[in-house]
Amino acid sequence: MNTVVTSKEEILKTSRELIQRQGWTGINIRSVAAACGVSVGSIYNYFDSKTALAGAVVESVWCEIFHRPEDGAVFQDTLSCVTWMYERMEYGCRHYPGFFNLHSLGFMGEDKSDGRKRMQQTWQHILDELCAVLRRDAGIRADAFTEEFTVEKFADILFSLLLSAFLRQDYDPSAVREIIRRTLY
């Protein structure tokens, strides 16, 4: 058995493949080591516990699902961005069945604080990008935002709708696009 892993990225890639084939329950130190063709100790060289491995895998899956597209125009207007996000959610649910529900529930325990922290960091990154898109969108009415109804508050509403769609597995952005049109344009 090879005891030298080429990289942390290879371990994460193999872990993502395990999730696709076996679901979230397929991720543990032994199964990942076997799938990588390395010893259990080799995995521990990169991750000091199953919790650390799981947290890194979750972050890796989120990054794959919401990787920045080649076409930067997606982030120039809110409607395109929201449509792209729903398409990426559908991709994530198709490639990682049950991932969104299972991993978020799995990170609610006290011993899962690292995974929960990574998940929240990823969510914050998505929320920050929504705010940036809203600020860049030249089509938004000048009076759409006020001191009480800020870009941040509207981005939070959009993000809440996105999370709700995750849970419902509803990948049709038409209702959200209509909310955006009526509110901002």
pLDDT at position 141 over 70:
yes
Per-residue pLDDT reduced to its tens digit, 142-160: 999 999 999 999 999 999 9
Residue 115 pLDDT level (bands cut at 50, 70, 90): low
Residues whose CB is less than 8 angstroms from the CB of residue 164 and which lie 6 or more positions away in sequence, other chains included: none
Residue 85 pLDDT level (bands cut at 50, 70, 90): very high
The residues spanned by each domain of the chain are 8-48, 61-184
pLDDT of residue 2: 47
Q: Which CATH code, of 3.40.50.2300, 2.40.50.140, 1.10.10.60, 3.40.190.10, is assigned to 8-48?
A: 1.10.10.60
pLDDT of residue 3: 46
Name the CA dihedral angle for 146, 155, 185, 175, rounded to a multiple of 10 degrees. -140
